[in-house]
A and B are shown apart, each in its own frame.
Chain A
């Protein structure tokens, strides 16, 4: 189940967006988060909207996957909308019933802010849906490489991320095994009052922790035996290739930014 949650996020397909270099996708998301704040009227929001849906269209991700990513946060979007709707006290009074007063500005702000939220979620989902976790790790490692100058352990972070990704399925299998072993000993995981069920997690977690530490130690020894001695002088097997599509994609983003600056009020 958990496996699906983490790995099911990536939808393999051969689309323009999938083929983009993770570095260009990460840059895109970072800049997008910044420029979305330039939008402040209907025209600029329309530009952002068209741009977002253009990218989604190009990614060939089925809508139901996007919806799956959106569902848990959808109520948050609606909540933001309602909050803005009821608590903005500017512009003409549009609707008045008892204590409920809705102003023109409230409707405007409600739509804008929730749309901003909505587009941000769509774009970040697009990144995780079209990029494998390991590609994201590689992309981050190269993008953050300049931080090595200020002694930020970029390589170590990336290695940690990739090892965690590699061990998630292994630990899932192990959890499953321990769970079955404990069920066989009479532990109830699925029924009983909440208090008991929380208590039942302890005999699951402790063996899992113990074995994880043992794994970590053995892995460290194996890595050392295979000549690992930190990031220095290390070459990389996985290679990222920046193609013309990546440049083009960023040029498009610059154009969008210029349009936003021109049309904002």
Chain B
């Protein structure tokens, strides 16, 4: 966890024709194998951050280093081999006419020989549990399934880092669960670094570390527990704190003590049904 795989140093970015800086002097590190969540209200600069990381935009000031390479316009294609990205809209990132064609799209771009491609397509679809949909057309798939195909497309390229840019925001709760579980399993099994950009704090709560963005600046950095302990402030930033945190707060104000400040929904339930025996 000690070596940063991505580091941002004083990154500033301004869109053409806009007065306010989308990002202002942002610096932080992302470590190998961790799950980092970046949260923030609309316009906090979190999506701009994702665009900069994959080189769709370049910082006007400061620098980004990915896997030891300083990102610039020349090496952008090498960087993109290391970082995969899953976007928000499941439909608008599905390029192929069938599931297998879509997974192969990135491989085709990299000029991977066909035999290798067949092998990798199968392999990555297996990892996201979509093998039985090999020949399926996108309009027969659910949103969650399409996002899993997008993940498979990223995995096929064997990246070190995967960025989820609001990848679950257009999905129903079931699809959301599917996608988060899939990524979580992948991250556990191999050292994949996950950068998840979201405004869903329930999802963010599952991360190893969180970064809160506000008005283009890094507002706070810490573990979900640390972040959720500043509940009032989060609400002021336009973020909705998870149900379990709200519940815990209500318990505390009603005079019922809980063991830790931040609890996931499951932990809260366990805490409650075992609280009697501890009293």
Contacts and interface: CB of A to CB of B under 8 A. Distances in A.
Nearest to A224: B56
Nearest to A169: B139
A148 interface: no
Interface in A164-182: 165-166, 169-170, 173
Interface string A100-139: 0000000000000000000000000000000000100000
A221 B50 CA distance: 12
A179 B157 CA distance: 40
A263 to B, nearest CB: 44
Contacts of A233: 111
A237 B139 contact: no
Interface residues of B, number: 38
Interface in A134-166: 134, 162-163, 165-166
B137 to A, nearest CB: 7
B81 A219 contact: no
Contacts of B107: 235, 237
A23 to B, nearest CB: 17
B95 A223 contact: yes
Contact of B109 (A169, A215, A226, A239): A226
Nearest to B137: A169
Given A224-B56, A237-B114, A218 B106 contact: no
A224 B54 CA distance: 10
Given A218-B93, A219-B95, A226-B84, 20 more contacts: A162-B97, A165-B97, A166-B137, A169-B137, A169-B138, A222-B85, A223-B105, A226-B95, A226-B109, A226-B157, A227-B80, A228-B105, A228-B109, A233-B111, A234-B109, A235-B107, A235-B111, A236-B114, A237-B104, A237-B108
Nearest to B89: A218
B183 to A, nearest CB: 17
B43 interface: no
Contacts, number: 89
B92 interface: yes
A166 B97 contact: yes
Contacts of B87: 218, 221-222, 225
Nearest to B93: A222
Contacts of A223: 95, 105
B10 to A, nearest CB: 24
10 closest A-B pairs by beta carbon, nearest first, are A237-B104, A222-B93, A218-B92, A169-B139, A227-B109, A226-B106, A166-B97, A225-B85, A233-B111, A228-B109
